[in-house]
Chain A
Amino acid sequence: MNDSILLDPTAEQAAAQRARLARPASLEGKVVGLLDISKPRGNVFLDRIEEQLAAMGVGVKRYSKPTFTRVAPTELKQKMAAEVDLLVEGLAD
């Protein structure tokens, strides 16, 4: 049996490909999370972002993954989802 094709059980009113979450029109009143994935010098990039956001009066919270080689622990994902409106993460070195 070919399990790679599933038939849509819905009224097909939503796009087959899920859209990304809408970007906020403004950062006013929002809290931005900065996630360091623990790759070298990620902190340099995120420090600079934090400076710029702080200068704009935007609240910032910092997080880091234990290691870039693994997906973020569930607890960390839940914590970030509960505490911030947006998240920026620095990928690669």
Chain B
Amino acid sequence: MNTALPDGLLVVAKADCPTCRLIEPLLAQMAEASPLTVYVQDSADYGAALPASIYDQTLERSYRLGIEFVPTLIRVENGEEVERTYGWHKEDWRQLSGVATLGEELPVMRPGCGSKTLEPGISEELELAFGEIKLSSREIDMGTAEDPMEACFERGWSDGLPVVPPTPVRVLRMLKGCERKPDEVLGLMPPDLVPVTVEKVAINAVLAGCKPEYMPVLLAALEASLTDEFGLHGLICTTMFGSPMIIVNGPAAKAIGMNSGVNALGQGNRANATIGRALQLIIRNVGGGRPGEIDRATLGNPGKVGFCFAEAEGSDWLPLAQERGIAAGRSAVTIFPGEGVQGIVDQKSRDPESLARSFALSLRTVDHAKLAMAGDAVLVVSPEHARVFIDAGWTKQRLREELEKLLLAPGAELVAGAGGIAEGIPARFKDQQVPKFRPGGLLIVRAGGTAGLFSAIIAGWAASGPVGSSPVTREVNT
């Protein structure tokens, strides 16, 4: 379309806008004074007697003019806009049109209506058609009889649950949740090692059911998972249980309504459920990490649909992200190769020493009670349990140090064959005191409902640390 502006006056109007109808009789008078062009957004009838009344049916003209209200009056000189006003303001219209007596009988002022270009649904369609944004993903044309929900299953885009069909409008809305350009490459997505763009993240976020405002958290989680330390490639391919689990800290978690309280590790919260799921769908769809193909998990775990929760901050305990170097008041994600959830039921310990011993005993079972320095673990301490430590003045760091001491075990009890169990650590450890976790291998977070003397262990990948995967924390940016 030739989008050069016609010199003279330009009016953009909507037939169903009362203010546009109010000024309709003035248009002929204005046309006598200056060349006048009228773009009408919703009808071929408005101003039909005028020589240059154009039905802007596609709304392209209105969109390109950036019209927000109707009527809008614009003065154009040499193809360039020099001045505009919107709504009916008698003085403005007289000055712009150069007709000193314009609208003598009309009130001084009448507000206009919203431009049709800004109606929900329409604005995104216009931006896709005429805007600067360029989506580059392949368009899959559904047959008219095809159910888009079923088509997504058929094409293998789903984790087994229904996904939201990624229409261009939905993807555009998702992209508006962040300030990144759609074509920005975030890294190489394992296992296929293909470039993953912000646009592909947004498409999978649509599939997963995310809201646009979740994008910054999802992008941070993806960037953390693509670091060399996290070792996502091996984690996707392993026969073991783990998969990326996301822990969110800071104001972003609250802002997007994440759950850190009752049932924090469970279902029912959209942000928790869909951010974790989106990361898994990116692994599946962009990376090609599908179970039975490259994903060789013997059993897997339910968190592979998605595993994401927020820490319950606001206690005396330092939030995980701050322990890991993020400034207070900033938001961050920590990504961890999590397995399932193992509960710790201790309803009797009322002092920190007893409860720490209880935790330590339970933590021994990570991977296997006879294995050590293999898998990391996240200890999720519920508020009622955390209170036992906090009231006694134990920080998270103190608890971790006490647990490390309590978890030292005589190597003779852990070596292969000891206790009549072939599994175990190498014989060379038999004369040593052996720590359960490698240094930095035990993370502690506070989460859960305020009632219940229960905590939980989320074991990590048995190939934790430099050989496999280390937890990674990344700040959330827009």
Contact = CB atoms under 8 A, between A and B. Distances in A.
A74 interface: no
A18 B196 CA distance: 23
Given A1-B121, A16-B138, A9 B148 contact: no
Given A12-B138, A13-B288, A16-B140, A7 B194 contact: no
Interface stretch (B199-207, B264-272, B296-304, B437-445): B199-207
A1 B128 CA distance: 12
Contacts of A2: 125, 167-169
Interface in B128-184: 135, 137-142, 144, 148, 151-152, 155, 157, 165-171
A12 B207 CA distance: 16
B137 to A, nearest CB: 4
A34 B141 CA distance: 34
Given A9-B200, A10-B286, A11-B189, A3 B140 contact: no
Contacts of A4: 141-142, 144
A48 to B, nearest CB: 35
B169 A1 contact: yes
Contacts of B157: 9-10
A interface bracket (residues with beta carbon within 8 Å of B): 10 to 19
Given A6-B151, A8-B203, A13 B142 contact: no
A1 B124 CA distance: 9
A32 to B, nearest CB: 26
- Give the dominant DSSP class at B's interface: mixed
Contact of B167 (A6, A11, A12, A13): A6
Contacts of B121: 1
A12 B196 CA distance: 11
Contact of B204 (A5, A9, A13): A9
A6 B167 CA distance: 5
A8 B144 contact: no
A8 B157 CA distance: 9
B167 A1 contact: yes
Interface string A18-35: 100000000000000000
Interface in A47-64: none
A5 B285 contact: no
Contact of B171 (A7, A10, A11, A13): A7
B137 A12 contact: yes
Interface in B12-49: none
Nearest to B204: A9
B135 A7 contact: yes
B288 A7 contact: no
B192 interface: yes
Contacts of B319: none
B158 to A, nearest CB: 10
Interface of A: 1-13, 16, 18
19 contacts: A1-B121, A1-B125, A1-B167, A1-B169, A2-B168, A4-B141, A4-B142, A6-B140, A6-B142, A6-B167, A7-B135, A8-B138, A8-B140, A9-B281, A10-B157, A11-B196, A11-B285, A13-B194, A16-B140
Given A7-B137, A16-B140, 12 more contacts: A1-B167, A1-B169, A2-B168, A5-B140, A8-B140, A9-B157, A9-B285, A10-B157, A11-B200, A12-B137, A16-B138, A18-B155
Nearest 9 interchain pairs by C-beta: A11-B194, A8-B138, A9-B203, A7-B137, A9-B285, A10-B285, A6-B140, A4-B142, A7-B166
